[in-house]
Structure 1
C-alpha cells in the first residue's frame, strides 16, 4: 500500500512469490491483485455413518484487505487497486 496524502488516496498492489519443491522447480512470482484462500480437508463420518469430506477455511486474504479498504473509504479517501507498478 502506498499513501498519497496530497490526493487523499491509497494505492494497493499485491506481490506474490511462490517457491517450489526442494529441486527448485515451480518458482513463480506475480504482481497485481490477488485473493488467496487456504483450507484444510478432513474425512469424517456423518450421522448416517457415511464418510464425508469436511472443508475448514483457515485463512483468506479478503479478511485483511476488506477491513483496510473499508477504513480508508470511511475516512473519505479513495482506494485504488493497482494492477501495475505504483
Structure 2
C-alpha cells in the first residue's frame, strides 16, 4: 500500500511539475524534483530513465549532482541510485 501511495504522490508531483514549467515562474522544476524523489525508490524504470537522462544531458546531470550535494542524507541516498557510475539496479 505504501509503495502504491508513493507512486501516486510522485506521479501527481511530476504532472504538476510539468504543468508548472509552462508558467512564467518555473516552480514546476521544484515539483518535478519532489516527484522524482518519490518515484525513484519505488519505480525501477524511473531510476533507469533518470540514469539514462543523466548520461545524455550534461546540464541535467550537473543539476542532479547539485541537488544531491544539498539534499539531506535520506534523499541523498535516493538520488545516488541514479548516478551514472552507480550500477545498483
Q: TM-score range by the shorter chain?
A: under 0.3
State the structure with bigger RCO (CA 8 A, min sep 6), 1 or 2: 1
Considering only CA atoms, is the larger Rg found in Structure 1 or Structure 2?
A: 1
More helix, by proportion: 2
More strand, by proportion: 1
TM-score by length of 2: 0.26
TM-score by length of 1: 0.26
